[in-house]
Amino acid sequence: MLDFDVWTIVFSVINILVLFFFLKKFLFGRVNAMLEKRAQMVQADLDQAKQSTQEAEQLKSEYEATLQGARDEAKKLIATAQQTARAQGDQITAQAQQQADSMMAEAQKEIERERKRSLEGAQNEIAALALAAASKVVGSTVDSDTNREMVDAFLAEEGAAE
């Protein structure tokens, strides 16, 4: 049934070898070149993706550093504004205290002036009453200028004694 012919087997082996070398020469070289080119393209894409990732990380680091710098600057500005506000508040408080002290001193001076005017008015009233009483007691009017000087001297002595 099965009949093996040696020459048929030898020709088949030779045909297969010729076909293999022919395919290797013309087909496998091109296929391998195409596969190698495809591998290079994939490797280039991988390298580019790796480089893009590194650039993204670098940009992220720069962004974070810039953001941190902006935060620090904002903190400095806030601290400076707070210090300025405190200084202005202290200055306004000191100014208000100084004005209050000035007004208090002026009020004290005014009170002292009013007290002196009141005392002078009271002395004049007392002197007038004393002169009127002395005139009635003596029964005649004595020189009013002389009497006035005597009463003023008396009040001055009594006022100094107090």
Taking only the tens place, the pLDDT of each residue in 42-80 is: 999 999 999 999 999 999 999 999 999 999 999 999 999
Report the distance separating Cα 145 and Cα 141, nearest Å: 11
Task: Determine the Cα–Cα distance for residues 1 and 70; give it in Å rounded to an integer.
Answer: 94
- B/e letters for 38-77, b = 16+ CB within 10 Å, e = fewer, are eeeeeeeeeeeeeeeeeeeeeeeeeeeeeeeeeeeeeeee
Helix (H, G, I), strand (E, B) or coil at 22: helix
pTM above 0.75, yes or no: no
The two tokens of residue 132 are 């009127």
Distance CA 112, CA 150 (A): 26
State which H helix or E strand residue 145 sits in: helix 144-161
In one-letter notation, the amino acid at residue 15 is N
* Tokens 């990380």 -> residue: 57
From first to last of its 162 residues, the chain has per-residue pLDDT tens of 567 788 889 999 999 999 999 888 888 888 888 999 999 999 999 999 999 999 999 999 999 999 999 999 999 999 999 999 999 999 999 999 999 999 999 999 999 999 999 988 887 788 777 777 776 676 655 566 766 777 677 767 766 555
How far is Cα 48 from Cα 46, in angstroms, rounded to an integer? 5
